[in-house]
Amino acid sequence: MKDVKKPDDLPTEPTDEGDEEPVAEAEFATVIADSGSTVNMRTKAKSSAPLVERVPLGARVEVLGTCRSWTKVKFGSRTGYMMTKFLTAEQEQEPDENLTLEERVFLLERRVALLEASDGAVG
């Protein structure tokens, strides 16, 4: 995995959420949550900051920098902050050649279903 450079506009002082200096993270991450179908992306690393977008579970986001509990991400053309607990680092993987075509189709359909879901939001 590639190290991410510290963006100039990532907060370097603790916020009311207890953030610290940015640290290197994975280049991309997947949006996850235990409930709901979207996670909020905000304008600042604060849960009270205005909403930029609701990002669907299973979506792939580009990681621009990470503070203790917030990660600066890019989703499509929009940039904002998501709580780090709703992201999981992606590992670069080669396709599993042992999977059958039916298994690959099933995995793709499951991912599409996650991306299309629109019940509520978390974060």
Instruction: Give me the CATH number covering residue 102.
Output: 2.30.30.40
Between 24 and 14, where is the model more confident? 24
122 falls within a domain: no
Contact 90, 25 (CB under 8 A): no
Total domains in the fold of the chain: 1
pLDDT of residue 108: 74
109 φ, ψ to 5°?
-65, -40
pTM exceeds cut of 0.85: no
The whole-chain average pLDDT of the chain stands at: 74
Q: Where are the alpha helices (DSSP H) in the chain?
A: 101-116
pLDDT of residue 82: 96
pLDDT of residue 13: 44
The pLDDT-based confidence of 93 (bands split at 50, 70, 90) is low
Rounded to whole angstroms, the Cα distance separating 106 from 119 reads 22
38 falls within a domain: yes
In the block, residue with structure tokens 């059958």: 100
The mean pLDDT value for 11-31 works out to: 56
60 falls within a domain: yes
The mean pLDDT value for 28-48 works out to: 91
pLDDT of residue 44: 94
